[in-house]
Amino acid sequence: MHILAWALQILFVPLLAPLGVGIINKIKAKVQRRQGAGLLQPYRDIRKLLHKDEVISEDASFIFNIAPYIVFGITLIVGASVPLFTSVIHLPSSDLITVVLLLATGTFFLALAGMDTGSSFGGFGSSREMTLSALVEGLFIASILVLVILHRTTNLYLIAGSVHLDYADLIAVALAGVSFFIVLLAETNRFPFDNVDTHLELTMIHEAMLLEYSGKKLALMEWASANKLIIFAAMLVNLYFPVGLASNLQFGTIALAITIFIAKLLVVYVAIAVLESVIAKLRFFRLPGLLFTAFILCLIAIGLVK
């Protein structure tokens, strides 16, 4: 059973990540009274890109060629390192600092690849990405610091395996959870930070860094982006609302835990889809204000922790 649990932990993120993107797009279409694409459209898009030829700029260096594999590989490692449906499995890479460093490394190579060809779009996209990342990474750590102080550990599995019922602690965790949700929106390029569906110069950040990619490398980049979305959603629902995680590796317990986990993911996806349907993207220079508000919530939460 341990082997099956390990296999599920490793394969869960890359196999279900595109479906999460499809669910969000479908819900947004329904909210906006459109038919929209099918739930499996992201899988079809990735399959199509994997079978297409690539066009690579003459100015591209080896960084441009290896960045998609590094970014995608990092999401696989992090996806296997965060608690999904059980708190029993432990990995050396499940430490908070390790996860933050891995994700920051992926962002670094993504930005580096955007600048590599000398494209003006890639350049400003990378500049915006690194500026936003410099602000978000601190908030990322601060939002989980509340849980670290509560549980006296930086191991994400140990954090997810503990439930505190103290009223003040629950308020602190809830405030930190709201801050982490803002981190999720920023790190996964969702509204109000970015618009993954646009190619307008004034609004795009993530897409600007991918304009030079095509074929298999573009497929890996898009797949990695979907992986990152489900990783942050999993951290949100399992670290701040650790309900339904399997405490053992029995088949029935794991099956129930996976069902609960998918249900919690659907709640996050619905929230993202509705939010993107009712708000507009903020101007880039207004984003630090939103992040500062989230940081204040983290400070209040830390002050409430006993």
The answer to which of 50-54, 80-84, 284-288 has the lowest mean pLDDT is 284-288
Whether 239 shows a pLDDT value over 70: the answer reads: yes
What is the model's pLDDT at position 202? 64
What is the model's pLDDT at position 306? 65
Query: Tokens 């459209």 label which residue?
Result: 41
Whether 33 shows a pLDDT value over 70: the answer reads: yes
Q: How confident is the model at residue 196 (pLDDT cuts 50, 70, 90)?
A: confident
CA-to-CA dists, residue 79 to 6, 16, 174, 226, 300, angstroms: 12, 11, 24, 11, 30
* pLDDT tens by residue, 100-150: 999 999 999 999 999 988 888 888 888 888 889 889 998 999 999 999 998
Q: How confident is the model at residue 200 (pLDDT cuts 50, 70, 90)?
A: low
CA atoms within 13 A on the CB side of 193: 26
Whether 203 shows a pLDDT value over 90: the answer reads: no
Nearest CA to 124 out of 229, 225, 211, 219 is that of: 211
The residue among 280 and 137 whose pLDDT is bigger is 137
What is the model's pLDDT at position 163? 66
Q: How confident is the model at residue 234 (pLDDT cuts 50, 70, 90)?
A: very high
Q: What is the mean pLDDT of residues 291-304?
A: 91
Whether 73 shows a pLDDT value over 80: the answer reads: yes
What is the model's pLDDT at position 1? 58
What is the model's pLDDT at position 164? 59
What's the maximum distance between 2 C-alpha atoms anywhere in the chain? 60
The residue among 271 and 194 whose pLDDT is bigger is 271
Whether 199 shows a pLDDT value over 70: the answer reads: no
Q: What is the mean pLDDT of residues 47-61?
A: 90
The answer to which of 42-46, 184-188, 240-244 has the lowest mean pLDDT is 240-244
What is the model's pLDDT at position 122? 83
- Helix segments in 32-56, DSSP class H: 41-50
Residue 95 backbone phi and psi in degrees, to 5: -75, 145
What rounded mean pLDDT belongs to the chain? Answer: 88
Whether 269 shows a pLDDT value over 80: the answer reads: yes
CA–CA separation, 115 and 125 (whole Å) = 8
The residue among 181 and 200 whose pLDDT is bigger is 181
